[in-house]
């Protein structure tokens, strides 16, 4: 697997230090065009032109290090010219849907997105989410998939694993976006939601072709993922509002304090109706129905 990007000269020393901390060691350069070459479980080569190439079987750790350095210090915060970022909202919420969103971003779009305030959606108020999401939609191409509670419960009964369910949802949504944009893509970046990276790899199979799949912890630091996070959160809020109006009940977010509300809902509408508004696979359901 290979990852490449451009690095500003004023970032070379810090990047070199961070890669040493990550476990790489300096080795002799292979040509006069190389600034330095490092190797351990993977190889990193910085060329005098500023191009960085990372190669190896599993380079995700190093890619994460590189992206963190570039995003913290670069004025644009962009290391990849064309990428798709993907994120989800609702996985930990008892009520409401699971929403996955994917956003295609190039370097010029990324600069605009950063200026309008796209960050991890968990750091934004519901009002700000709506305003920023509407601006993002005018700039980028995107795909958002809403998996209703009823559909979520059905899929979970088939796969018996939320990580597999989520991986398949992301893969379907990202591939749908790729088919619709028909533009060059360097990589797909998704927040790592499972300790088993194979979940996503298996879900995509060979369908990404030569496009690099990167799984990062705290991937919302990537502009594309932050944008996807905002769009997913905005759609989740919209769906929750629709559900609240339909049942004339203000559904709570999260999963910490929902038992009392869920019992009131069941008493008013029935346990069967609960399947249409809640992820009944949560252990919370046993407490609600006991």
**Sequence ranges of the binding site:** 87-88, 191
Rg (CA), the chain: 21
Q: Would you list which residues are annotated within the binding site for a divalent metal cation?
A: 87-88, 191
Distance in angstroms (rounded) separating the CA atoms of residues 273 and 211: 42
Residues 29, 43 contacting (CB under 8 angstroms): no
Between the alpha carbon of residue 274 and those of residues 159, 177, 196, 242, the distances in Å are: 21, 32, 31, 16
Q: Helix count (H) and strand count (E) of the chain? A: 11, 10
CA distance 73 to 92: 33
Tokens of 140: 């980028």
- Residue 103's DSSP bridge partners are 85, 142
Q: For residues 95 and 265, give the distance between their C-alpha atoms in angstroms, rounded to a whole number.
A: 11
């Amino acid at each position: 697997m290979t990852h490449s990007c451009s690095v500003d000269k004023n970032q070379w020393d810090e990047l070199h230090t961070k890669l040493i901390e990550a476990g790489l060691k300096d080795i002799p350069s292979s040509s006069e065009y190389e600034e330095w070459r490092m190797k351990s479980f993977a190889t990193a080569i910085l060329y005098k032109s500023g191009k960085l190439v990372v190669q190896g079987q599993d380079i995700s750790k190093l890619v994460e290090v590189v992206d963190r350095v570039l995003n913290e210090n670069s004025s644009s915060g962009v290391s990849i010219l064309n990428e798709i970022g993907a994120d989800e909202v609702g996985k930990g919420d008892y009520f409401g849907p699971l929403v996955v969103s994917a956003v295609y971003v190039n370097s010029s779009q990324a600069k605009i997105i950063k200026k309008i305030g796209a960050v991890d959606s968990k750091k934004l108020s519901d009002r700000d989410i709506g305003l920023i999401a509407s601006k993002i939609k005018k700039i980028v191409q995107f795909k958002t998939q809403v998996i209703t509670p009823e559909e979520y419960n059905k899929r979970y009964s088939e796969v018996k694993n939320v990580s597999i369910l989520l991986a398949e949802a992301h893969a379907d949504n990202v591939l749908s976006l790729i088919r619709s944009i028909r533009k060059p893509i360097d990589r797909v970046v998704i927040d790592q939601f499972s300790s088993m990276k194979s979940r996503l790899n298996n879900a995509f199979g060979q369908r990404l072709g030569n496009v690099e799949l990167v799984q990062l912890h705290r991937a919302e630091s990537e502009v594309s993922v932050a944008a996807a996070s905002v769009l997913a959160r905005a759609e989740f809020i919209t769906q929750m509002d629709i559900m609240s109006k339909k049942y004339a009940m203000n559904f709570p977010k999260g999963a910490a304090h929902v038992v009392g509300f869920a019992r009131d809902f069941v008493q008013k509408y029935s346990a069967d109706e609960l399947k249409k508004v809640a992820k009944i696979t949560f252990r919370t359901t046993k407490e609600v129905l006991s």
